[in-house]
Each structure stands twice: as structure tokens, then as C-alpha cells.
Amino acid sequence: MSRYRFEAYLDKAFDFSHLVEALPEGRQAPRHPWHKVFDAVFLAAAMQIPSLLQIEAECRRGALAQRIGPISDDTIGYALQRQSPEPVFALGCDIVRRLKRNGVLRSDWSRGLIVAAVDGIEICSSFARCCDACMQREVQHKVRGELRTDIQYYHRIVAESPRNLPLDRHLFRMRLPSGPAQRYAER
């Protein structure tokens, strides 16, 4: 499915563009509006672009150049850092509710359960800069050849994607760790 068809489907099924434009802005007087940053990150995730630098490159002269236009990785990071996650989470919940209500997530093989793929990534790590929302950990790293322990500040993003595809139960069972999760899958 092309990006244009994907966006057309989102607009037709969910009025997605208007929902995104209604998300509150977390910055004051930004050069690039929040919906532009959100669209860049959302479409990059759909296209499986893994880093902010690659998103910047795609927005400058790649697949997102005409749709988004030039935007720097610093701008994206700055906007994400200052955006409240609650409205974005609520948008995702609203879309999942609509999918569920429309029967998209219903299937016989899952016996009424919704299966979701969950993935996470850590972004914006730094040994010097931090904010109130930063997580922190002690990390050993080399500085000028010497091993040093410092506190690293970072943000973690976790996303879920509902699935309605039957899985081969044997393949699924092989990939699970032993313990309660495997026993649940074997039922």
C-alpha cells in the first residue's frame, strides 16, 4: 500500500488529519507545528524508518520531502520532548476503540482477545542534559581511554500495534520464554 493510499484510508476511516491537528501544542511559538512533527514521526514509523537522522534525511530529499518538507532531527526531538503524551495516547485509544467497534479486531482464532505487537525504543540519551521527565541509569563508558561511571539520562517510548492476523501457534510457542507466558500460550 502506498503512503498516499494509507493516508487516504486513515482520513476516510478516522478523520485522522483533523484528529492530529487537534492535538495540543507543547511548545510556544514553534517554527514547525506539532501536527507536522507528528506526521513526520508517524509516517516514518509506518515506513519503518528507525532514527531521527533518517527521518530528517527523508524529509529533506526522500519519501517524505513533498509531504512534510525539511525538518531537522533536533526540531523533532525538541518537539517530542515537550509534547504531553496523554493526548497522543488518547488518540491511539480512540482509534483502537473505533477499530474494535467496526469489527476489525474481531476474529475466531483469538477467542475474543486482542493481540498486540509491542515495541520500544530509547531516545535522546545524554550524560549532561536532562529534564523532569528523563529516566536515568548508571553507565560505564570510556572517556579519553579511562573507564568511567556516569549517570545517563534518556527517554523511552513504547508503542503497541493491534494485530488481527492468525499466528502459527507452534512458532509462537517456540519464541516465548519459559514460564507463565509459555504456559498461557499452550492453553
Q: Is position 184 within any domain?
A: no
pLDDT reported for residue 176: 35
- Cell output for 181: 507466558
Specify the number of domains making up the chain.
2
Q: Is position 49 within any domain?
A: yes
Q: In this predicted model, what pLDDT tens digit does every residue of 62-84 receive, in sequence order? A: 889 999 999 999 999 889 888 88
| Same domain? 9 vs 66 | yes
d(CA 144, CA 30): 38
Q: Is position 68 within any domain?
A: yes
Mean pLDDT throughout 121-144?
86
Residue 161's domain comprises 108-165
pLDDT reported for residue 54: 92
Average pLDDT, the chain: 79
| Same domain? 21 vs 48 | yes
Q: Is position 56 within any domain?
A: yes
H helices of the chain, in order, are: 3-14, 16-21, 34-46, 52-61, 73-82, 85-101, 169-175, 180-186
Q: In this predicted model, what pLDDT tens digit does every residue of 154-168 receive, in sequence order? A: 888 777 766 655 444
